[in-house]
Amino acid sequence: MCRWVIFKGRDEILLADLLLRPAHSILTQSYDCRLRLDQRPHNGDGFGVGYYTNPELGQGPCIFTSTTPAWNCTNLARLAKKTTSSLVFAHVRATTTGALSESNCHPFSYHSLMWMHNGHIAGFKKIKRKFVEAIKDEYFLAVEGSTDSEWAFALYLDTLDSLGANLKSPPPNGFGHTLLRAAMLKTIARLNEFLTAAGVTEPSLLNFGLSDGHSVVCTRYVSSKTDEAASLYFSSGTRFHEYKPGGFYRMERHDKGQDLVMVASEPLTFERGDWVTVPTNSILSINKQTVLIHPIMDQYYQPDPSFSRSAAFAESKGMVAGREGGKEGTGKRGVEG
């Protein structure tokens, strides 16, 4: 499966310090995934980087995608060494649905909104027509590729629209994390309705990342009450820097405040204390630099905190359950992080 990372900071970061230089950067993960347990340790089916710039240049993100493997793209290295941003999405792809093409590379965007996905929608071919029937023409026509991920984004756009948002004319300070989170929860509910109606019983792995340039919403989710979701971690602090030559980065915390937050499929560093595991079937929101984690309380919610979900399904898809390399985040559910 794929890997992604999100950075949101009070100040801008040089993309090279996020994407290239850390010892286990997203670039490294494109050819050396420590948490992939299948026989395919590479994420070499293209990559993408999206980042927000000066609002005077427009509210939408700048997105660079390529079907070249990230480790072999000279242009990525050139751009990353000269580009800064305070809100960055990056994604390396291993195909599950859709051909190898730039139109299928994440992240995807629509006006101010940016989206990416790690996982898969089970039985997608059985429910694809449901997407077409359920969404407005403008979001149907916005789909350029053939991935389940982009169709999930189209469903999210339609859902956010149905909640009263004007997607073509977003507010100056964004839609707000509360509305974005509500739309994400409703999108997952609609997806589950499609799957149930089609008789699909295989779990779907839905690690989504979404931003409007101001707030960020992410999910770690599996449509199962007994299985673990794909891995997801977050890290927050006041400074992310190289403390020793050779790509040895760490997160520093000088006070109780948070100047930056990162969310990633795999930790970018080997400092165990830097990373917190996002609990399975949770939704994480970043408002300014405050992290909020809430449980997704639907039919797959597991109320027993002592219940141990099985990692076998996630491992069969090449995505370990996600308890290695970071502290458990269950104590942060529904509270500020």
The C-alpha atoms of residue 66 and residue 109 are separated, in whole angstroms, by 15
Q: What are the backbone angles phi and psi of residue 270, rounded to the nearest 5°?
A: -105, 20
**What is the side-by-side order of every strand in the sheet holding 335-336?**
108-110, 113-120, 205-211, 215-220, 282-287, 290-295, 335-336
Known catalytic membership, residue 2: yes
Listed in order, strand segments (DSSP E) in 172-244 are 205-211, 215-220, 233-237, 239-244
Q: Which of 2, 73, 105, 218 is catalytic?
A: 2
Q: Retrieve residue 118's tokens.
A: 């790690």
Q: CB within 8 A of 134, min separation 6: which ones?
A: 155, 158, 190, 194
- Asked if residue 206 lies in contact with residue 95, where contact means CB atoms within 8 angstroms, the answer is no
The C-alpha atoms of residue 18 and residue 6 are separated, in whole angstroms, by 9
Element (H, E) at 246: none
The C-alpha atoms of residue 161 and residue 135 are separated, in whole angstroms, by 10
Q: How many CB atoms lie within 10 A of CB 212?
A: 28
Amino acid at 258: Q
- Chain Cα centroid distance, residue 322: 14
Which residues are tagged catalytic?
2
